[in-house]
Chain A
Amino acid sequence: MTAFWLLSPLMVVAALGLIFARKAVHAALCLAVVMISLAVLYAAQDAPFLFAVQIIVYTGAIMMLFLFVLMLVGVDVSDSVRETIAGQRLLATVLGLGFGIVAVLAIGQTVTGIVVGLDEANAHGNPYGLAKLLFGRYVLAFEFTSALLITAALGAMVLAHKERLAKPRTQADLAAQRMRDYAESGRHPGNPPTPGVFARHNAVDTPALLPDGSPLEESISESIVARGQLREGYDDDIDEVRRQLERSDEPGGDEK
């Protein structure tokens, strides 16, 4: 019972994080916390096989898939705050609260009688007992799940497959396209400037400076701009120090 009382508040908080986290990655981490805690609760309830499966399948495979797709579609895709249906959020919260209270009060109190426990069923070990059921009474369902898994794998392959509609562009095509762009719209054919050129720092988040000292945003990776981590390469602490020095040099400045 100690594991339960330690983990259940943590699980509820992490599950609430799933609702309130602004970024999808944080929601995924909260879900991972819930899943690992669930695995511990399975172990505490005499289900060592499900403990292993929960860790391997859920936190191993499914969470990895979630994070992989999150990285694939871009971390900067944030949730829109605008409501399409007026009052949906409020209504959903009220309905959810109502459902939760009714469920906890009605269903959560229904179980009476003593807990039989699994000592007898697990007499030969938990995996042995599960295997006896899986390959005995539930063997048909087991076969169906194998068919389901094969179908799911094929379906995922078909859905994620990208049909190549145009001929792949070779390096020569790209070079010709670049020269055509230069002739038609005057776009510079060379490499874009690297970040940090003529700036105070040469870090990737510092934009290159033009000859007149203004920053050039094209020199920064788009994802850094999207995350809002752009550093102002021309107006930083060194300039601030110099400004203070100039101010104290002026006559009538705040000299001490």
Chain B
Amino acid sequence: MNEYLTLSLILFTIGSVGVLVRRNAIVVFMCIELMLNATNLALVSFSRQHGNLDGQVAAFFVMVVAAAEVVVGLAIIVSIYRTRRSISVDDASLLKS
């Protein structure tokens, strides 16, 4: 049980570092997906630990929300790319004076 939790935490940390370090918006998005997946692993492990299926239902909901989030996020990235010809997160700084 603790091994699964540790693996999940390691993956979550790698994902969060990736979000902070990477510049490409799509790769940043992938790192967010990695974090969501890591939490899913923790939820499934807790479900087995406690012997009820609520954790698996929660993981299922996380998957649904992640799918919706990816659809909208990628549409935003495509529309930003269409106007600015770049998907670097540094270039989207229009609000900065």
Contacts and interface: CB of A to CB of B under 8 A. Distances in A.
Interface in A108-157: 108-111, 113, 115-118, 120-122, 126, 129-130, 133-134, 138, 141, 145, 148-149, 151-153, 155-156
Nearest to A152: B68
B11 to A, nearest CB: 5
* Interface SS, B side: helix
A101 B37 CA distance: 19
Given A61-B67, A65-B70, A73-B78, A120 B51 contact: yes
Contact of A155 (B2, B37, B72): B72
A197 interface: no
A58 interface: yes
Contacts of A113: 49
A153 B71 contact: yes
Contact of A45 (B45, B77, B82): B45
B4 A141 contact: no
Nearest to A146: B64
Contacts of B81: 72-73
Contacts, number: 224
A99 B41 contact: no
A50 B45 CA distance: 12
B20 A88 contact: yes
* Interface SS, A side: helix
A100 B10 contact: yes
Contacts of B10: 12, 15, 100, 104
Interface in A74-123: 77-80, 84, 88-89, 92-93, 95-97, 99-100, 103-104, 107-111, 113, 115-118, 120-122
Interface stretch (A33-41, A168-176, A210-218, A227-235): A33-41
Interface size class on chain B is 35 or more
Interface size class on chain A is 35 or more
Contacts of A209: none
Interface in B8-26: 9-18, 20-24, 26
Contacts of A103: 9, 12-13
Given A19-B14, A31-B30, A80 B23 contact: yes
A4 interface: yes
Contacts of B90: 80, 84
A123 to B, nearest CB: 11
A53 interface: yes
A104 to B, nearest CB: 5
Contacts of B86: 77
B12 A148 contact: no
A16 interface: yes
Nearest to A132: B53
Interface in B47-97: 47-54, 56-57, 59-61, 63-72, 74-79, 81-82, 86-88, 90
A11 B12 CA distance: 12
9 contacts: A11-B7, A11-B11, A15-B15, A19-B21, A41-B44, A100-B13, A116-B49, A126-B56, A160-B75
